[in-house]
């Protein structure tokens, strides 16, 4: 009886040892005894979309303004550096009312439709004030296949002849010309010695000082 009890105790000890060994093996080779991982998901607020800021703020502003097309599709050049009456454009604007702000836009090209090169320039004067428009200081405009220039009339950069982008420009303020019943002389041409060019359009964009219907600029 004593031998049997002893054998039972040995068997239980072996079973207990095997059980402990099994637990150790399972713990080392599996994650069965690891606590359950709870994934905490933090809600991230969606980024606020800021409205895009246009790089063409002045050009975009002209879309909301009154406009007067002064000239379109005009072939102009200065053969041998000489200005000829039939190759320059002269007209008069009459301002009925007071203009609060305005822009001048020029779209020009060579006769074949390509942009102006460093050898051509746009000459523009109002009431005999101004000169060759300084292209590097045009206000930003969308990319175009032609030469498009935009200037606020209170700060127009220009140079005297011969045109060069290496020169330091002067500035003319044309805003004082636009007043009640003013008559404004406009003269323009493209300085181009060797080949014809075109002013595709010359446009005045403007706002009235006392509401949209309080002024009107006409040819």
- Locate the domains of the chain by residue range: 1-33, 57-218
DSSP labels, 53-92: PPS-HHHHHHTTSEEEEEEEEEEE--GGG---GGGSEEEE
How far is the C-alpha of 111 from the C-alpha of 88, rounded, in Å? 15
Euclidean distance between CA atoms 133 and 96, whole angstroms: 27
pLDDT tens digits, one per residue of 87-139: 889 999 988 888 999 999 999 999 999 999 999 999 999 999 999 999 999 99
pLDDT at 212: 84
DSSP string, 121-178: EEEEEETTEEEEE-GGGSPP----SSEEEEEETTSEEEEPSSP-TTSPPEEE--GGG-
Supply the pLDDT for residue 87. Answer: 87
Closest CA to 196 of 125, 84, 109: 109
Considering only CA atoms, which of 8, 5, 27 is closest in space to residue 16?
Answer: 8
Q: DSSP code of 212? A: T
Q: In sequence order, what are the residues at sequence separation of 6 or more whose Cβ sits closer than 8 angstroms to the Cβ of residue 47? A: none
Average pLDDT, the chain: 86
Minimum mean pLDDT range among 43-52, 73-82, 203-212: 43-52
Name the CATH architecture for the domain at 57-218. Answer: Sandwich (2.60)
Q: Report, in angstroms and rounded to the nearest whole number, the Rg of the chain calculated over CA atoms.
A: 40
φ, ψ of residue 133 in degrees (nearest 5): -60, 130
Q: Is the pLDDT of residue 33 over 60?
A: no
Q: Give the per-residue pLDDT at 44.
A: 66
Average pLDDT rounded to a whole number, residues 191-201: 95
State the pLDDT at residue 64: 95
Residue 26 tokens read as: 């399972």
What pLDDT score does 192 carry?
A: 94
Asked if residue 7 has pLDDT above 90, the reply is: no
pLDDT at site 25: 63
User: How many residues comprise the chain?
Assistant: 219
Q: Which of 21-30, 89-98, 110-119, 206-215 has the highest mean pLDDT?
A: 110-119
The pLDDT tens digits for 52-84 are 678 999 999 999 999 999 999 999 999 988 888
At residue 3, does pLDDT exceed 60? yes
In this predicted structure, the answer to whether residue 26 has a pLDDT above a threshold of 60 is no
**pTM score of the predicted model:** 0.76
């Amino acid at each position: 009886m004593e031998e049997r009890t002893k054998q039972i105790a040995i068997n239980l000890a072996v079973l207990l040892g095997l059980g402990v060994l099994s637990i150790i093996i399972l713990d080392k080779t599996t994650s069965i005894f690891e606590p359950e991982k709870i994934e905490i998901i933090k809600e991230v607020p969606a980024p606020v979309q800021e409205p895009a800021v246009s790089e063409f703020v002045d050009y975009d502003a002209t879309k909301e303004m009154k406009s007067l097309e002064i000239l379109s599709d005009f072939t102009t050049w200065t053969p041998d550096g000489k200005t000829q009456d039939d190759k320059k454009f002269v007209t008069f604007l009459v301002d009925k009312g007071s203009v609060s702000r305005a822009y001048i836009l020029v779209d020009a090209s060579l006769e074949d439709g390509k942009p102006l090169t460093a050898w051509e320039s746009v000459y523009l004067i109002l009431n005999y004030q101004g000169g060759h428009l300084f292209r590097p200081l045009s206000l930003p405009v969308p990319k175009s296949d032609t030469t498009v220039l935009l200037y606020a009339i209170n700060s127009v950069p220009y140079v005297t002849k011969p045109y060069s982008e290496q020169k330091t420009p002067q500035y003319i303020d044309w805003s004082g010309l636009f007043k009640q019943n003013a008559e404004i002389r406009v003269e323009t041409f493209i300085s181009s010695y060797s080949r014809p060019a075109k002013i595709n359009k010359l446009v005045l964009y403007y706002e009235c000082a006392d509401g949209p219907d309080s002024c009107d600029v006409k040819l």
